[in-house]
Structure 1
């Protein structure tokens, strides 16, 4: 996928769900993976021509793993002229050494988001951007159906009243396969996730299930995504089609 196509998908999401307003300051969550780096490229590119002027600031929450080298990402942010902040934490030690969590992902996500949101507020941002793509949205719906018994997925736009922050997901129309293609084409400097639970989660189960369903029933992924967009899910904002 070329940058122009990535920008087109991103603008579609931003326009249809009114994600960005004039003067917004957006904290961009950078994990070091392909999705967050693609989002960084997308939002930095969108800034150049989008009618609503906005600023972005990249933030990484470091969990405290030894050898987690973020220098390639720092260099990329310098190249793109995007301010970059790394928050050092001891989340990994707390979860795996102190609490010895059997299912660490939920608590880890909560602590990471807490640290990220606090830093976003500290530097004056009013919005935070998460790099969830189309596959993530569908997988979340499958997880909700299987484990919660409800038809639900996270919203393109969510207001966090306790933090006075708005979460946006500008990659929602981008397929994961296209993100992989973009990463390869532009040689994104991804940093491997050092978490020992990586690849052994319920989300990984949903990812494999979605892949199998789409293999056996070609087009089912797109039909599922359409069902989500048209499903009147509680908490989703209205979609503005042009």
Structure 2
């Protein structure tokens, strides 16, 4: 995927759901993965010509695992002229010492988001951008259907009342395949995920399920995404420009 296509899809999401207001200070959560680095690239570029002025900073939460080297991410932020902060934590140690049975993913996500959101507030930001793309939204819907018995996926814009913080998801119209293409084309400095549970989660199960359905029924991803967009999910804002089929 070329940079102009990325700009176009991200700007469309921002416009459709009014994700950015004048003088917002937006933090991008950088995990080191392809999704967050792609989002960083997109917002750093849009910042230069988007008609609504906004500030941008990048934040990484270091879980404390060894060999988690963010030096190349730091270099990319410098190249993109984006202020970068690394938040050091002992989350990895907490997860390792946790004696509860089952997957540690839920606890990890809760601790990471808590550390990220607190850093966002401490740095004076009023919004945080998460790098969830179209596939993530579809997979979340499947997880909710299969394991919770409800039709749900996370919203493009979510206000966290307790933190007085707004979460936005500008990659929502971007397919994961296009993110991979962008990562390869622009040689993004992806950092290996040190989590021992990576690739062995319910989300990975949903990813493989969606992949199989789309392979057997070409265009299924877009149709499922369209169903989510128009599904009147509780908490979802209305689109400024309704999404057309196809």
Q: TM-score, normalised by structure 2?
A: 0.97
Could you tell me which residue of structure 1 aligns to residue 118 of structure 2? 118
Q: CA deviation at 1:208?
A: 0.2
SS in 2 for 1:159: strand
Structure 1, unpaired ranges of 5+: none
Could you tell me which residue of structure 2 aligns to residue 221 of structure 1? 221
1:94 is the counterpart of 2:105: no
> Distance between the aligned counterparts of 2:33 and 2:148, measured in 1?
28
> Distance between the aligned counterparts of 2:101 and 2:107, measured in 1?
9
Post-superposition CA distance 1:25-49 (Å, at most 9, x none): 0010000000000000000011011
> Distance between the aligned counterparts of 1:219 and 1:118, measured in 2?
40
Alignment of 1:132-171 (within 5 A): 132-171=132-171
> Distance between the aligned counterparts of 2:42 and 2:5, measured in 1?
10
> Distance between the aligned counterparts of 1:233 and 1:136, measured in 2?
16
Could you tell me which residue of structure 1 aligns to residue 28 of structure 2? 28
> Distance between the aligned counterparts of 1:79 and 1:216, measured in 2?
42
Structure 2, unpaired ranges of 5+: none
Alignment of 1:1-242 (within 5 A): 1-99=1-99, 102-241=102-241
Runs of 4+ aligned structure 1 residues displaced above 6 Å come to none
Task: Name the CA shift for 1:101/1:91 in 2 (closer, same or farther; >3 Å).
Answer: farther
Q: CA deviation at 1:102?
A: 2.5
> Distance between the aligned counterparts of 1:215 and 1:183, measured in 2?
23
Task: Name the CA shift for 1:183/1:160 in 2 (closer, same or farther; >3 Å).
Answer: same
Alignment size in residue pairs: 242
Q: Aligned-pair RMSD on alpha carbons?
A: 0.9
Q: TM-score, normalised by structure 1?
A: 0.98
> Distance between the aligned counterparts of 1:107 and 1:74, measured in 2?
27
